[in-house]
Chains A and B, each alone.
Chain A
Amino acid sequence: MITRETVEKIAKLARLQLSESDLEKYTGQLNNILADVEKLKELNTDAIEATTHAVEVANPLREDEVKTNTVIDAVLEISPDHEAHFFRVPKVL
């Protein structure tokens, strides 16, 4: 059972500002999702290995070869703030 406090906590961790009505709505929706999962749990999956993906594909691995990329100039240009090729952010320590 997901409580409203849980939703508040997750929202805070995700830096989401939710209105009262949003909190209400998401608490309900999340509980509905969990209820569906509960339903699935009725199936016996003891003999099935847990997967993180629906299909198992061979590893797409990359060779260790350098490619240059200059997208940074455009990215700095549209960033909120930059200086001397650094991104500039409010002081953090």
Chain B
Amino acid sequence: MKRIDCLSAIYDSLEDCAVVTIMGAVAVELYSLGHRANFFYLEHAMGLASSIGLGIALAQPNRKVVVIDGDGSVLMNLGTLTTLARYAPGNLTHIVFDNESLLSVGGFPTATSTGSDIGLMASGAGIEHSVTVRELDAFVAEATEAVESDRLSCVVAKVEAVGPAGFHMDLHMLENRFEFPRALRLQDEKQAEPPPRPDPRGAEPLTDEPAHPH
């Protein structure tokens, strides 16, 4: 099973979610399928993608949040599994692509290549719904169900250690950083009732503050 095929298969279901990916091959592969402003690619801070997802999930309980993580990153912040389990936000899905390797920095094997089992660790941390999948059909079924459901899920996908030919993305980190929360706000506004139109006859100043206090 290849990660790019997994991402391609669930791409459409990510449309209304806040999506946080880790750096390297995962970011490039999702980007290559078609960038959307509701995708945030964490290009550093290995291990913290799931913590960012938890922060979004807590701040916006009505939004679906999908974290797309990797074995190397999760192994750097195993405590996150216990924190996710502790607060278990139902709107959060934690997908971990486990290729048993630090592929983006030369392919050195991680501890999952010698028996460490992230799915079992997620279960042991207290995440009640944690599954490990090895076939594309199973991945699509589990990931889709996890995103749609109202419970915290961890889906570990065992994938081949293959990635994109290059790592260039025509999107600056800060451009992505600022467009991402804006996209979440715009999605909210689209879903909310339109605000009442102001009455031009009884118009009152919106604020006493001068527009440019300086």
- Indicate whether A and B interact: no
- Chain B interfacial positions (CB closer than 8 Å to A): none
- Chain A interfacial positions (CB closer than 8 Å to B): none
